[in-house]
A and B are shown apart, each in its own frame.
Chain A
Amino acid sequence: MTRRERRRREDESYRTWNGSYRRYDLVKEASIAFGVILALTVVLTILFSSPDEHPSTVQSWSHGDPVDFVTTAATELDGSSTSGSYGPPYNHASGSVQHAWFLHPQRWFGVSHPVNSAQDFVLAPLRAITGQPALQSAVSTYETASANQQAAWTSAYEKGLNKASATSAGSISVPTGNYGPLTTMMPALLTFAQSGGLDGALLTSKQFYQTDYTKPLLFMADGGVLSNRAQAEHLLGSQWGIMNETGSYPGQVWLWLYTFWYQIAPFQGANADILVLLVMGALSLAFMLVPFLPGIRDIPRWIPIYKLIWRVHYRAASARTAAPTSS
């Protein structure tokens, strides 16, 4: 008999149990378990409640850190922000496009949620502001200028922003420079954001009802408003990221292996996400197929924890085996 045949026969012998049975009340056990779990969750709720940190808004961001807001808006205007240079599924750039060997799934599925950072985050909202002809004229000047001229203005403005400071009134003070129409546009955008108007403008779509927060979230993620709060809450990727929860609550702790890979090389480069996903995909497949993986499926035989699990059964069986000889 070959080893495979011997193994198949042994495996087959475990198919049915021809030994003894004992009384068991399935419904009673399930009912008691449900009651215990319900009581346990109520106790945990009373003791610990649950976290609910209020969300950030563009309005609160522009009030709390106007320099960061305007700096981010300037990078949206010239397309150098993370969103502006992201690539699929938002646009045709390549700044955040990942691949592994011949696998380019991010490109394969194309642009499904179009985002033009300059148009969507700056120019269109400014166009929505009425009653300010000077502002509309400045926007027109910017839009009709050559690409080189636009780049010169935004570049100069971003350099100026490095030395900018917030005023007590909530606006920003930027050193004098050749910023062209940005001198009018960016303060107007800041005022619009501080009024709450930009939060609404970023959600504007062709229909009345709206549940898609892609644009405001991308805009805020490009700035420091979310990451600064996340750092304070120990939620950054270097702090094990999304498996954590705000406050001292347990979060998605089951993601520990997923977030673990980001802490070590080679999963910290530009293609970290797709590499981690490939590793986790392979491990997940292996997890599902444990019964068919030689070595992995044999470990429970080699390390006999089962003797602890079935110790009552083995003890009883030993007693039965020993009984005829002792009588």
Chain B
Amino acid sequence: MSVHAKRTWTGAVRDRAVSALPPEKLLADKQPSYVASWIYVFGVLSLSSLAVIILSGSILALKGPGWWHFTGVGHFFNSIHLWSVELFFFFMVIHLWGKYWMAAWRGGRARVWITGAVTFLVAIPCALTGYVSQQNFDSQWISTQAKDAINASGLGAFFNLLNFGQMYSYHVLLLPAAVVALVIAHVLLVRNHGVVPPFRLADKLPAVAEPATVDGGAAGPEASS
């Protein structure tokens, strides 16, 4: 890294980013040997569901909020959107429970847990604004019922569930942007810290440390960091 580059803010940001997440960490092609359980699949399934949500939601947004009510194709993509949301929450809940039972915050990974938990919490109003943006009876009922809780909190002054325009803006831009930003932060933190190692079993294992090999060969990225 040149001295000249470090004099700039850009250079400082780049140096810090590359230091925290070198390419071999960001897109690792090897992982710790203990990552061998179906429970690890639910993180990527949550991400995949989110990708389908964004894809189907983008198509619905391109055609406008009324499109799906009067066209078969629109209804098809609305159904894709609905089921991907249901799968997203289903997989995310299993992912969270899995990480809880692994105590995945160990070893300086508290921020990984917190970003995951906040993502779940922000996804809830993101879904709620979707339900009240449907422009059907369901949205009428949910908005008129949920307004009392929002009003009781004082947030009703800024977040009016009965205002379709405001809810639609929250649903297609503000809250999805927050969810995606949180997910990116979460994934980058996972790549930076690595997957939490198993608990040591004092009666079976001498220590966390084992011979550092990949398929009996070279050392992994975390071993070398």
- For B118, give its contact among A13, A37, A49, A288 (CB under 8 Å): A288
Contact A287 B117 (CB under 8 A): yes
Considering the complex, which residues of chain A in the window 270-289 have a beta carbon less than 8 Å from any beta carbon of chain B?
271, 273-274, 276-277, 284, 287-289
Whether B146 lies near A242 (C-beta < 8 A) is: yes
Q: Secondary structure at chain B's binding surface: helix, strand, loop or mixed?
A: helix
- Using CB atoms, name the residue of chain A closest to B51: A34
Question: With A20-B33, A33-B47 in contact, do A11 and B106 touch (Cβ < 8 Å)?
Answer: yes
The residue in chain A whose Cβ has the minimal distance to the Cβ of B128 is A252
Most chain B C-beta atoms within 10 Å of own C-beta, residue among A12, A217, A305, A312: A217
Indicate the member of B39, B82, B156 with the most A CB atoms within 10 Å: B82
What bracket does the count of chain B residues touching chain A fall in? 35 or more
Over the window 168-188 of chain B, the binary record of Cβ atoms lying under 8 Å from chain A Cβ atoms (1 yes, 0 no) is 100000000000000000000
Tell me if A53 counts as interface (CB < 8 A to partner B): yes
Which residue in chain A gives the minimum CB-CB distance to B26?
A: A26
Contact partners of B146 in chain A: CB under 8 A: 242
Residue of B nearest to A96 (CB): B148
Check if A306 sits within 8 Å of B148, measured CB to CB: no
Interface flags, A50-68, vs B, CB<8A=1, else 0: 1111111000000000000
**From A38, A213, A310, A320, contact of B198 by CB (8 A):** A310
Partner of A212, one of B155, B164, B209, B210: B164
How many angstroms between the C-alpha atoms of A242 and B199 in the bound complex?
41
Distance (Å) between the CB of A279 and the closest chain B CB? 12
Interface residue stretch chosen among A103-111, A163-171, A184-192, A193-201: A103-111
- CB-CB < 8 A to B164: which residues of A? 211-213
Q: Are A321 and B205 in contact (CB under 8 A)?
A: yes
A22 interface neighbour in B31, B205, B212, Cβ under 8 Å: B31
Assess whether B87 is in contact with A310, with CB atoms less than 8 Å apart.
Answer: no
Query: A16 near B222 (CB under 8 angstroms)?
Result: yes
Q: Name the residue on B nearest A250 (C-beta).
A: B86
Report the interface size class on chain A: 35 or more
CB distance from B136 to the nearest CB of A (A): 5
Which of A40, A45, A226, A312 is the most central at the interface, judged by chain B CB atoms within 10 Å of its CB?
A45
Complex CA gap A289/B117 in Å reads: 9
Contact A21 B208 (CB under 8 A): no
User: Which stretch of A122-130, A149-157, A290-298 is in the interface?
Assistant: A290-298
Decide if B201 touches A314 in the complex (CB within 8 Å): yes
Considering the complex, give the chain B residue whose CB is closest to the CB of A254. B89
Q: List the one stretch of A71-79, A135-143, A174-182, A229-237 in contact with chain B.
A: A229-237
* B208 x A18 contact (CB < 8 A): yes
**Are A41's CB and B110's CB within 8 A?**
no
For the complex of A and B, the 3 pairs showing the least CB-CB separation, nearest first, are: A211-B165, A105-B154, A21-B220
A-B contact pairs, 27 of them (CB 8 A): A14-B106, A15-B193, A16-B225, A18-B208, A19-B197, A19-B209, A20-B33, A20-B211, A22-B31, A22-B33, A23-B214, A34-B52, A36-B45, A37-B49, A37-B52, A41-B80, A41-B83, A88-B151, A106-B151, A217-B162, A246-B138, A254-B127, A277-B149, A287-B120, A290-B113, A309-B198, A314-B204
